[in-house]
């Protein structure tokens, strides 16, 4: 299941980015040098049960024992387009921006596109420079809202992303009559909860045989069991607030 949300030309992208930067950060600057292409945005949906990839690790987060393996997960797919509005041809590297914590199940990338919400700002920047962008809504958000939100559960972020990556491969091949292909390379980014999600997704993509070019994360708990809880306990014990 996927449907077009909007398509923006290069000129429209420049205007959109300028508005978003001003609305979210009060930044007034020339953004034409920041973007190279227009983009086509789609809501994308898929399920673990749609695919049977070769990688054994797929069963770890998409097997029958994995929570949410039967869920229809959703996200935002951004495709870079040329001046004619066609998806760029050739091998296109992938990218993913993973959003921070939100409470409302509808406040997900696939539902917030076109607003001045900065949750997809970095993804827009990557995609307007020629990268295929996939921003997962996460399990419990978007089309999987009936499932539990699996906050800081590693496998849940993998379950919510990998099917979207595999679906994006199919969409790109179909829409371009195999003139374009999602490359076996990905840039993984995220902040706050999204930073934790990015680490989990990077691990899954690596075991799926995808080359993680770069991982950019910040403001997230990473070593929860081995470091963070112990550090929090020590701080409280020593009255370091």
The pLDDT confidence band at residue 12, using thresholds 50, 70 and 90, is: low
pTM of the prediction? 0.84
Residue 22: both structure tokens together: 């001003």
**Looking at residue 196, what is its pLDDT?**
93
In the structure, what pLDDT confidence band is assigned to residue 223 with cuts at 50, 70 and 90?
Answer: low
5 pLDDT band (50/70/90 cuts)? Answer: very low
Pairing of strands 90-98, 73-81: unpaired
| pLDDT at 6 (0 to 100) | 52
Cα 97 from chain centre: 4
Tell me which of 217 and 200 has the higher pLDDT: 200
For residues 155 and 66, the answer to whether their CB atoms sit within 8 Å is yes
Mind listing the pLDDT tens digit for each residue in 141-193? Answer: 999 999 999 888 999 999 999 999 999 999 999 999 999 999 999 999 998 89
pLDDT tens, residue by residue, 75-127: 999 999 998 889 999 999 999 999 988 888 878 898 877 655 666 777 888 89
Q: State the pLDDT at residue 102.
A: 86
How far apart are the C-alpha atoms of 33 and 46, rounded to whole Å?
35
Q: Are 43 and 110 in contact (CB under 8 A)?
A: yes
Q: Say if residues 97 and 132 touch (Cβ distance below 8 Å).
A: no
In whole numbers, what is the pLDDT of the chain averaged over residues? 84
Planar angle of CA 80, 82, 84, nearest 5 degrees: 130
What are the pLDDT digits (tens) for 27-82?
555 566 677 888 899 999 999 999 998 888 999 999 999 999 999 999 999 999 99
Q: Report which of 114, 135, 128, 112 is spatially closest to residue 31, judged by C-alpha positions.
A: 128
- pLDDT above 60: residue 1: no
């Amino acid at each position: 299941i996927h449907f077009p949300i909007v398509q923006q030309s290069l000129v429209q992208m420049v205007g959109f980015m300028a508005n978003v930067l001003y609305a979210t950060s009060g930044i007034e600057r020339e953004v034409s040098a920041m973007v190279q292409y227009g983009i086509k945005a789609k809501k994308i949906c898929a399920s673990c049960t749609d695919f049977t990839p070769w990688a054994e690790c797929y069963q770890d987060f998409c097997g029958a024992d994995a929570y949410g393996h039967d869920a229809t997960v959703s996200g935002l797919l951004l495709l870079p387009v040329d001046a004619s509005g066609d998806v760029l041809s050739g091998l296109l590297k992938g990218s993913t921006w993973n959003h921070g914590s939100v409470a409302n199940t509808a406040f997900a990338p696939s539902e917030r596109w076109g607003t001045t919400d900065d949750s997809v700002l970095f993804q827009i920047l990557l995609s307007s420079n020629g990268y295929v962008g996939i921003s997962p809504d996460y399990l419990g958000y978007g089309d999987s809202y009936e499932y539990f939100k699996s906050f800081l559960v590693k496998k849940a972020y993998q379950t919510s992303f990998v099917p979207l990556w595999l679906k994006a491969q199919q969409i790109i091949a179909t829409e371009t009559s195999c003139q374009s292909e999602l490359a076996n390379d990905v840039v993984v980014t995220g902040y706050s909860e999204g930073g934790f999600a990015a680490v989990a997704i990077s691990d899954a993509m690596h075991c799926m045989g995808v080359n993680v070019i770069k991982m950019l994360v910040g403001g997230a708990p990473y070593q929860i069991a081995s470091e963070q809880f112990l550090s929090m306990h020590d701080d409280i014990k020593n009255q370091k607030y």
